[in-house]
Amino acid sequence: MSADPAALERLLLRPQAGGAFPLDLAAVYPRPAPLAVEIGFGGGEALAWWAGCRSEWNFLGLERAKESVQRAASLLCRAGVGERVRLVQGDARHLLRELLPAGSAQRILMQFPMPWPKARHAKHRLTDPEFVAALAAALAPGGRFELVTDQDWFAREAEAAFAGHPTLTLSATEQNPVRPFRTRYERRWLAAGRGIWRLTAEQRAPRPLAPRSDPIHMEHLALRTPPEDARVQALAGRRFSEAGAAGAVHEVFTAADGWLLQVLAADGGFSQRFLIRIKRRDQGPALLAVEDCGRPYPTPAVAALLRALQRALDLP
């Protein structure tokens, strides 16, 4: 399905461009209502069904894949629920904490997340303590989280992770539960005689978490000395680290007014690729700034990478 620009314009939020965290839900939705969140909504079929069943609720979908966001936006508008649904493209491990006000979600649903079974990929799993704490903080008192997975070991790991949180009450994990909506993948999986598992947790009293985003550090940095081409080109392949944050420069491109750097910044398992511009100026110092096109979320790793590049370019 080709992208529908009108549907994307209507449903897609780009909070990293505005710089305000968490979201102002009163400004996002046309009327106040309980909020339901789906993490990893894929093509949007379940989200459209859910929104159609609960006309009195607002809905927010978080999804990493750009193509999935495009398909879902078109489907949701065709289903007539676009007024009450908003979508954000990005990694829920970061977005859940940054975007949702504490205690704002009545329901959070996560269906068949990537389990990352290899030990070296464990940092990507949605069962680490930081993610559990962020999810718990987003749930309202009495709010419920539901996880559905096709991997029994992942269900057990998630059960242990959420049981360890002090404000959540877990229900017994169910195997092959009756569910009012099943995804296409789920129906095929069950038809093949395989199992699925459902974990549910209820929030008793949320504990707020402060957002880590700091938009002020996304402003431009001034360079004390005019950058030399050789020094800028030598940044390609450089890696930087600072207090758990990591960054790297993948490529350097020459531009009419300076240079463009294709970079990566990683806060633990959450990584972002984006562009940084080094801009010469006739008057005043050269500037180092994040490009607006593909603008990243202002995480500690992004700020640390900007500072590291400033130090590297300002060396005598």
In a shared domain, residues 259 and 197:
no
**Which of residues 143, 175, 203 is at a domain's end?**
203
Domain-located, residue 210: no
In a shared domain, residues 176 and 259:
no
**Which of residues 135, 170, 203 is at a domain's end?**
203
Q: Residue 120 has what pLDDT?
A: 79
Q: Residue 239 has what pLDDT?
A: 96
Domain-located, residue 299: yes
Q: Residue 107 has what pLDDT?
A: 98
Looking up tokens 């839900």, which residue turns up? 25
How many structural domains are present in the chain? 2
Domain-located, residue 294: yes
Pull the structure tokens for residue 261.
């750097």
Containing structural domain, residue 223: 215-313
* Beta strands, E only, 131-286: 139-149, 168-170, 174-175, 197-203, 221-222, 239-242, 245-255, 258-267, 270-279
Domain-located, residue 209: no
Q: Please state, in angstroms and rounded to a whole number, the distance separating the CA atoms of residues 165 and 149.
A: 20
Q: What crossing angle do the helices spanning 92-99 and 129-138 adopt, rounded to 10°?
A: 40
Q: Residue 219 has what pLDDT?
A: 67
In a shared domain, residues 107 and 84:
yes
In a shared domain, residues 22 and 150:
yes
In a shared domain, residues 93 and 181:
yes
Domain-located, residue 208: no
Domain-located, residue 138: yes
In a shared domain, residues 25 and 75:
yes
In a shared domain, residues 142 and 220:
no
Q: Residue 138 has what pLDDT?
A: 96
**What does each C-alpha distance from 186 to 39, 69, 170, 180, 300 come to in angstroms?**
16, 20, 23, 12, 38
In a shared domain, residues 244 and 168:
no
Each residue of 144-166: pLDDT tens digit? 999 999 999 999 999 999 999 99
Spatial CA neighbour of 41 closest among 85, 102, 78: 85
What's the predicted TM-score (pTM) here?
Answer: 0.85
Domain-located, residue 244: yes
In a shared domain, residues 156 and 257:
no
Alpha helices in 45-91, H assignment, sequence order: 45-53, 66-78
For residue 105, give the CATH number of its domain: 3.40.50.150
In a shared domain, residues 221 and 113:
no
Q: Residue 115 has what pLDDT?
A: 84
Q: Please state, in angstroms and rounded to a whole number, the distance separating the CA atoms of residues 278 and 264.
A: 16
**Which of residues 182, 203, 224 is at a domain's end?**
203
Q: Residue 124 has what pLDDT?
A: 76
Greatest distance between any 2 Cα atoms in the chain: 70
In a shared domain, residues 133 and 181:
yes
Q: Residue 309 has what pLDDT?
A: 94
Q: Residue 116 has what pLDDT?
A: 82
Q: Please state, in angstroms and rounded to a whole number, the distance separating the CA atoms of residues 267 and 247.
A: 9
Query: Tell me, what DSSP letter sits at residue 228?
Result: P
Q: Report yes or no: 132 and 145 within 8 Å, Cβ to Cβ.
A: no
In a shared domain, residues 100 and 220:
no
Domain-located, residue 261: yes
Q: Residue 45 has what pLDDT?
A: 95
Task: Give the residues of the chain that fall short of pLDDT 50.
Answer: none
Q: Please state, in angstroms and rounded to a whole number, the distance separating the CA atoms of residues 77 and 68.
A: 14
Q: Residue 163 has what pLDDT?
A: 94
Q: Report yes or no: 64 and 88 within 8 Å, Cβ to Cβ.
A: no
